[in-house]
A and B are shown apart, each in its own frame.
Chain A
Amino acid sequence: QSALTQPPSASGSPGQSVTISCTGTSSDIGGYDYVSWYQQHPGKAPKVIIYDVSERPSGVPDRFSGSKSGNTASLTVSGLQAEDEADYYCVSFAGSKNWIFGGGTKLTVL
């Protein structure tokens, strides 16, 4: 199964909003509401910031939000802050207890 498709890079100025897309198929994103997003800073382990398409774990700022339409999921970061600069990965359940990641998006805060 091919990785989910994410843009390699995204950027925005402090205070702005940026949206990162994650495109799959009807066998993964389109078939299940089990999309999650992860933030990874250099040299660190990933951290979940969105699960079940749009739910935020406790402690994650409400500046992070998720949505899904058809085979595409999206992560929006509002009110960009310097510490949001990181790599972001989407993941979807793909049936048969398998999981598929996106290729990752490097977010730069200008």
Chain B
Amino acid sequence: EVQLVESGGGLVQPGGSLRLSCAASGLTFTSYWMTWVRQAPGKGLEWVANIKYDGSEKNYVDSVKGRFTISRDNAKNSLYLQMSSLRAEDTAVYYCANLNNWSFENWGQGTLVTVSS
């Protein structure tokens, strides 16, 4: 059974930083592009970033470019999202997912990030 477990969310002040983690099991982690998707409270889903299976390619939605960094540690089957210069509009549940068949195949349960003073 595939499991993706996010952690690291919490309350942070505007301008602050936070690092999210996603621990993967039950899949061959090194075979998949991985992605972060977020959902603001009561709102829709938004793709945030993805990373190639070997970490050699990374892509971001325009609104987070220069502020967020996606990375992975294949030895630990883990995905990360380093978030800095956080804004109120970054408040959301952040999900990690693996990409397969050009779709987001498996999702974690999400971790809530709240940016507020």
Contact = CB atoms under 8 A, between A and B. Distances in A.
Given A45-B110, A97-B57, A98-B59, A51 B103 contact: yes
B105 interface: yes
Interface string B35-48: 10100000011110
Interface string A90-110: 010100111111111000000
B44 A89 contact: yes
Contacts of B35: 99
Contacts, number: 59
B85 interface: no
B109 interface: yes
A80 B105 CA distance: 24
Interface residues of A, number: 26
A8 to B, nearest CB: 10
Nearest to A36: B103
Contacts of A51: 101-103
B53 interface: no
Contacts of B62: 1
A1 B24 CA distance: 30
A38 B59 contact: no
Given A46-B95, A97-B50, A98-B61, A36 B45 contact: no
B59 A48 contact: no
Interface of B: 35, 37, 44-47, 50, 57, 59, 61-62, 95, 101-105, 107-110
Interface of A: 1, 3, 34, 36, 38, 40, 45-48, 51-52, 55, 57, 89, 91, 93, 96-104
